[in-house]
A and B are shown apart, each in its own frame.
Chain A
């Protein structure tokens, strides 16, 4: 063999390999992942419940302003909470990423695994959060004698799910890409 690079044609493994890796990771770390997705769920629940309350609110301008403020705050809380949960759950696995690189995984494969994992967690977490938040807001409204037709909060709940999903994926992909691009030795050295 003399300096010939044409033999170096790497093919990524089929998608199911990444899918199995992501599922195994969720299954085995079930409680850790449950906490992560609860973090996501709480953020989204807060946001959705605030929006449900607003749907019922009177048209008094003062109340409107106060609710807008609350929704803004809840949005920021949700952003920080979800991002933090996902960042932590990826950075604590840099070593694993380094190891998989040593076994011959391409950078793309690593990102794919984390994408699938984050999307699943994000979907479950934010769906739970949206339902929880919707029910909560509904309950508070009912207790205050305000009745809101259920359909009016559906967009808020759907919005919550989409937002949660997006946040989770972005927050997980950023450190995963960073780790995948690192030299394998550096990823293996990282200790948290």
Chain B
């Protein structure tokens, strides 16, 4: 494909099929998707609702298993993992960001960020130090003791980003991260994600409709009717926009 050959694939899917329901009522959300996602790239996944975008997203994040085909994360076939190993993968390798933020409402901002570290076996003191650093990184160090209900949408999403970075993951999966935010706050979140990618080398994979998000992407996957219809690179998009 169009990606430089010197990059290593962090995620590779081979012909994945996902079907919901059985018999006549069966719906094929994904119908044979094969792709490679490279380390350190900023990838956007686009597609109308119902295209299978979210299903694809769940597959590469190890949140759901395909009916056929395989998903490899860092060359490990995640279908072969036990629930415990899958938990380990989610804990150490992938950071998740959701459209609806999904912070743990009963815990403070800092506790939300440190929880994944505790799952990883980090000592509480160390977790707290790193949690504060991450909150500072997203510009919320001063609100560490607030609970999610006391924060604005943009602030909640920033806590979620700090949380996704908790265990230095190789991949950040963001499912419409700007979908519930106003334009200005959305732009701040995009800038933050872009900065993480360029400064820290994190791979960002994001499902989105947001054109500002597409503008900073290295590549864009277009998903239609459960298939990977098109892969657009930054250069191609630049010329397309210019015309």
- On A, residues with C-beta under 8 Å from B are 1-5, 8-11, 13, 17, 21, 24-25, 27-29, 95-96, 98-107, 109, 181, 183-186, 188
A103 touches B80 (CB 8 A): no
Closest to A108 in B: B84
The interface size of chain B toward A, counting residues with CB under 8 Å, comes to 40
A104 touches B116 (CB 8 A): yes
CA distance A4 to B75 in the complex (A): 8
Closest to B62 in A: A184
B105 touches A5 (CB 8 A): no
A83 → B minimal CB distance (Å) = 24
A106 touches B84 (CB 8 A): yes
B81 touches A8 (CB 8 A): yes
Of B58, B81, B88, B118, most A-chain CB atoms within 10 Å: B118
In the A-B complex, the 8 residue pairs with the smallest Cβ-Cβ separation, listed nearest first, are A104-B91, A185-B63, A10-B88, A185-B64, A185-B58, A28-B106, A8-B85, A104-B119
Q: A25-B106, A95-B102, A104-B119 are in contact. Are A10 and B87 (CB under 8 A)?
A: yes
B91 touches A10 (CB 8 A): yes
B121 touches A11 (CB 8 A): yes
Indicate which residue in A13, A24, A27, A98 contacts B121 across the interface (CB closer than 8 Å): A13
Closest to B80 in A: A5
Find residues 134-165 in chain B having any chain A CB closer than 8 Å to their own CB. 147, 163
B171 is an interface residue with CB less than 8 A from chain A? no
Indicate which residue in A25, A96, A104, A105 contacts B167 across the interface (CB closer than 8 Å): A104
Indicate which residue in A3, A17, A105 contacts B77 across the interface (CB closer than 8 Å): A3
CA distance A29 to B105 in the complex (A): 10
A10 touches B84 (CB 8 A): yes
Closest to A100 in B: B104
CA distance A2 to B58 in the complex (A): 23
Q: A24-B107, A101-B87 are in contact. Are A184 and B119 (CB under 8 A)?
A: no
B63 touches A183 (CB 8 A): yes
CA distance A72 to B60 in the complex (A): 53
Task: Jot down 23 A-B pairs with beta carbons below 8 A, ordered by A.
Answer: A2-B75, A3-B75, A8-B76, A8-B85, A10-B88, A10-B91, A11-B121, A13-B119, A27-B106, A28-B106, A28-B147, A99-B103, A103-B90, A103-B163, A104-B90, A104-B116, A105-B87, A106-B83, A181-B83, A183-B63, A184-B63, A188-B63, A188-B98
Contacts of A100 in B (CB 8 A): 104, 115
CA distance A109 to B120 in the complex (A): 12
Q: A3-B76, A28-B147 are in contact. Are A103 and B119 (CB under 8 A)?
A: yes
Q: A13-B121, A28-B147, A99-B102 are in contact. Are A107 and B63 (CB under 8 A)?
A: no
A109 touches B88 (CB 8 A): no
A8 touches B89 (CB 8 A): yes
Contacts of B74 in A (CB 8 A): 1
Contacts of B92 in A (CB 8 A): 104
B65 is an interface residue with CB less than 8 A from chain A? yes
B63 touches A102 (CB 8 A): yes
B106 touches A109 (CB 8 A): no
Contacts of A104 in B (CB 8 A): 87-88, 90-92, 116, 119-120, 167
A19 → B minimal CB distance (Å) = 12
Closest to B100 in A: A95
B96 is an interface residue with CB less than 8 A from chain A? yes
A17 → B minimal CB distance (Å) = 5
CA distance A37 to B71 in the complex (A): 45
A96 touches B104 (CB 8 A): yes
Q: Mark B172-201, 1 if CB is under 8 A from A, else 0.
A: 000000000000000000000000000000
B76 touches A184 (CB 8 A): no
Find residues 114-132 in chain B having any chain A CB closer than 8 Å to their own CB. 115-116, 118-121
CA distance A106 to B147 in the complex (A): 24
A183 touches B64 (CB 8 A): yes
B63 touches A13 (CB 8 A): no
A13 touches B87 (CB 8 A): no
